Amino acid sequence: MLVTPPPPAGPVTTEAPVPPPRPAAQPPPPAPPPEKKPPAGYVPGTGFVIQSDDAAYRLRVGLAAGYKFEPVYQDGSYQNRNTFFVLRPILSGNFFKEWIHFWTSFEFAANPPFLLDSYVEIQPVKEFGLRLGQQFTPFDRHEYFGPQEILFPEWSAVSNYFWTGRDKGVTAIGTITGQLEYWAGLYSGTPLQQFNALPGNYVAEGRLTWSPMGPVGATEFAYILSDKPLPFRVSATVQGVNEKVQSATQNFNPSTFRYQIMATGETTKNSMGGADLWIQGPRFIFFAEGMVRHTTPPTGPSFTSVGAWGQAGVMILDRTMDAGVRLSWLNPSTDLADDQFYSAEGQIAWYPAHSQHLVLKLRYAFGHQSSPGMAELGSVPLVIASAGNTQIATVQGNLAF
């Protein structure tokens, strides 16, 4: 019997096996190309624009218009009424950088039409920016909203009484930590259609708005625009104005074919302060404001005016319909006994596009103006020129894009 011997033992080694070679490192994926903007057309949230691929240059064409049927009944007779609330073509956009904005708008709901706003805004950071040109002055948050952003068919009568209007100058604007917003402006004290400022005229204004829980809605009916319930927020404003304005007349010179500004020598001084409160919830917005102004007219004694108003809007059909109520009170002069104004308004509004682009409003308002007579009033202006009761029914369609 043959036995096969085992094979001889091979050499013994202690070396670890060599791992297979690692694959070569792959290069990182290329960065996605920058998003290109459509060169022209409708851009959601922006409107109709012509723009460069990077949106550094942009021209926007827009319109804010309000068409209304509004019978006005005062002391037993119907009064004249307007067909248009506003009719404002708009050219706006940015150039060179997205933070260099411009805005120019006109008012065609007047005869003759006139330049409403024209300014350039430079704001490289949210904390600080400058707006230069003819612009809406910052006093009064309610008046700062555009016609397509307010709840009722027009701004509050009390707010209009105190508002400093539009002027030419510079405004510093900014937002700090997302909670504190500020506006500080110095203006020339010139009406809209007066382009030459008179020596000595000035308007200085400032406004601070504090929103401790974060920014509030961008319109007075923000619950309609949001596809989610509005967060509960509270916001408050303090504001002030000091102004000295000499009035002027404008006469056409046929020799030069130019309008000449002539000072009247009548100077009015105003010092004014105010505060507001904004409270919003998932389906409502409450907004109230109070203001006081001390006026030194060119003739007659100085006087103090005090006023307050408040409104509430409640969404009654999701993103489609809301109801609103507004109450107003104003005492044009605390020295007069029988000059007060008060009003109450109720409204239902329909938003078929779930936005501010198309809105139909149905409003009824009752107002009462007392007057001691022209001799007693002197330089004190009333909210409504004719004393008595006024009733207004408004059907208004707003178009904005």
- Amino acid at residue number 151: L
User: Does residue 9 lie in a domain region?
Assistant: no
Distance CA 224, CA 230 (A): 9
pLDDT-derived band at 265 (thresholds 50, 70, 90) equals: confident
Residue 32 lies in a domain: no
Q: What is the pLDDT of residues 286-300, one digit of tens each?
A: 999 999 999 999 998
Residue 17's pLDDT band, with cuts at 50, 70 and 90, is low
Q: State the CATH number of the domain containing residue 284.
A: 2.40.160.10
> Per the domain annotation, does 26 fall within a domain?
no
341 assigned to some structural domain:
yes
**Strand (E) or helix (H) holding 225:** helix 222-225
User: Which pLDDT tens digit goes with each residue over 87-139?
Assistant: 999 999 999 998 999 999 999 998 889 999 999 999 999 999 999 999 999 99
How far is 380 from 244, CA to CA, in rounded Å? 17
Tokens at 111, concatenated: 């005869």
Exposure string for 232-246, b = 16+ CB within 10 A, e = fewer: ebebebebebebbbb
Q: Report yes or no on 226 lying in a domain.
A: yes
List, in order, residues 6 or more apart from 135 with CB less than 8 Å away: 117, 119, 166, 167, 168, 169, 171
Please tell me the total count of domains within the chain.
1
User: Of residues 37 and 263, which shows the higher confidence score?
Assistant: 263
- Could you tell me if residue 288 is inside a domain? yes
pLDDT tens track for 332-378: 999 999 999 999 999 999 999 999 999 999 999 999 999 999 989 99
pTM over 0.75, yes/no: yes
**Residue 1: predicted pLDDT:** 43
Domain carrying residue 242:
40-400
Report the percentage of the chain scoring pLDDT > 90.
Answer: 71
Any idea what the Cα angle at residue 32 is, between residues 30 and 35, rounded to 5°?
Answer: 160
In a domain, residue 297? The reply is yes
**pLDDT tens digit sequence for 134-180:** 999 999 999 999 999 999 999 999 999 999 999 999 999 999 988 99
Looking at residue 26, its pLDDT comes to 62
Tokens 């105003």, located at residue = 270
Question: Under a CB-based contact definition with an 8 Å cutoff, are residues 401 and 48 in contact?
Answer: yes
The whole-chain average pLDDT of the chain stands at 90
Is residue 228 in some structural domain? yes
